[in-house]
Structure formats: C-alpha cells, structure tokens
Structure 1
Amino acid sequence: MLNRTTWFIREHVGLLKLSDTYDILDPGTRTRIGQAREEISGWTKFFRLLINKSLMPTTIRVYEGSDEKPSRPVFSIRRGVALFRPRIHVTDASGAALGWFQSKFSFGGAFRVFTADGAEIALVKGDWKGWNFRFLSGEVELGVISKKWAGLGKELFTSADNYIIHISGNPEPSISLLLLAAGLAVDTVLKEKS
C-alpha cells in the first residue's frame, strides 16, 4: 500500500455513526488496498453523544489488505483532547513515533507535518473552500488532496466524503507514509465536526 503515490479514499456511509471507517482504494481499479478505522473507547463513544466530536480524542488505525476488514496494521493517527491547536501523532504498527502534525491558523485550513525528530517536511494548506489541499515544502508542491464528487444524492444526504491523495515524484517511504497520514488526517481528525 505504501509503494504507491496515489490513493482514493472512500468514507463509509452510515446513519448515526459513532466511529468512522474509510476504504483506501487503488484509484485506477477501485479495488481495496487498505482501510482506515477509527477505534475509540466506549466512554469516548458515549461522550460523543454529548460533546462535539472534533473536541474528543480519537485514534485512526490504518490497515493494509483487500479483505472486507483488513488486519495487517501499517500505522496509526492519534489526537488527544483538542481545544485550540491539537497535536496529532503518527506511529507505526508497533507504536514507535513516525511524526506529528500541528495545526496552523489559516482561512482554508493548514497544518505542519513533522518527522519524529521534529524536522518540518511539509505544510498542508487548504483553499478558501476548505476541500482542496496542497502539500508544500517551501514553494514546491509535494502533492495534493482533492475532493471527488460522489453524486447529488450522496452529497446532499450524507456527510461521507470521497477524495484523492496524490504525492508527486518518488519520495522516501517514510515521507510517503507521513503525507498519506496527513491526507487522511485532514478528513478523519481535523475536518470532522459532527
């Protein structure tokens, strides 16, 4: 899954969901290559009924595989209680730190991507509509996140999102993983409001 530069992300549709699931697909064939699942405690699920979801802690685990429920863990994205500018941590399957994200004030939304040793590798910056994002290193574009239209019915009656994450060139696997995690974090951790 990490040996590619483009992923199609499709959020599962559900009524009154307390946790989210996202299929990670090959954009050419639309076959599943992985899945991102929000895995939260029972207490957190209960409090989500009372408190805005975007303020609550969350963990997204990313699994590789084409099964209905893949079980080979690749990495995790974790956010603690978020009040102002949350720090989002990325760890590998064994729990070792890979990097972290720190939000930045911006009208379209933005956050910085850091390696585990604190080196900034990218700024993820949104447009004024807040759904097209670019991975930037200085003025160099490292990749993009673009929302995909899902059809009138789905767009009007669900909050489920479809989008493409594309990384330019052939970055190191560790950079590719952090940029994929950043792309997933835009929707799973930073933009979810309900």
Structure 2
Amino acid sequence: MRTVCTLFLVSLLSACMSTRPKNDLGFSEVKKISNLDGCYLNLAETGKNVGKKYLSSIVFPNSKLVHDTVEAIDVKSAGRSFIVKAIAQEKVIHQGEFLEGRDFIFSNGTLTITKAFGSGLSEPGSVFLGVGMQSTTLGVDASGDGRVVEDLKIAGTAFLIIPVAASGTDVVRYVKAPNRCGLS
C-alpha cells in the first residue's frame, strides 16, 4: 500500500505561477462604475517573461480584431453598462456594450468575468481530460491606470492516468492615456 501511495504522490503534477508588473499598486477601491471610465493603452505592462497582452483581447475575445493594431480602448459607463470602443489611427474600429449581471459582476470596485470550461480527449492532439475555471478581474489602481488580474485553475488527468492540478495568476497594467482616444 505504501508503494501505491508513493507512486500516486510522485505522479501528481501540480504547478503554481504568478506574474505582475513592476511597482504593482493593487486595486483601488472605487464606489461607482463610472470611476472606471477612461482611455487605456491597449498593450499591457507585464511582468518578466510574459508575452504581449492586449486589453482588446479581454474585452472582445471572440471578435476578428487584429489586437496588435488596436492602439487604445475607450471605456464609458452608461448606468449599469459600459460602451467600449477599440481605437486605431484615431478611428473606432470595433465597439460593444456590456451589461452588469449579464457580462460582468461589479463588486468592491472591480468588474469580474468568470468562465468555466472543460477539455476532453475528443479534441485533436489533446492528452488532457479535465475542467477549469478562468476569472478575469478588471479595475483601476491608485494612479488611475487599468489593472487586470487573470486567474486560471485546472484539474484533471493527462494520458488518463496522471493527475494534474495547476493554477496561475497574471497581473497586468493598462496605462491610462486620455489623449489617445481623441477621435477626429
């Protein structure tokens, strides 16, 4: 029995990762949705060894936008919703409306978007069978810049026999740039 337990513990794969930009200020608690209004650079300031992250890919994940061409994201509240515009070369190239309760939850001064997902062996090339949860929290820091925390947690098996559990947290900053959303 001891050998079985040892083998199980050795085969258990678990990982934890976390990244954040230099001088991360944490979330500033805001009372109203309108405190999140502003124009933010689309390209994030990230921690070390993190690829490029675009705010447009979080806000418009299923669009056909070429995210590296978007220069800024303009956010304007309207009651319990937001009108968000992707801007390139001083023109709106994409926009959407997001409603509290349907698209996000507003709590403690931040917006949270949560997605659950499953992965199966029916996907070509997949060796992982399991479930996961992704949570994205958006807000502002003490300097008024945008701050996004992406949490990912997964659990399942690899090759149907190796238990796998992993989690990761990425924190990024989107610099507020009011002059970038001046539309002509």
What TM-score do you get using the length of structure 1 for normalisation?
0.31
What TM-score do you get using the length of structure 2 for normalisation?
0.33
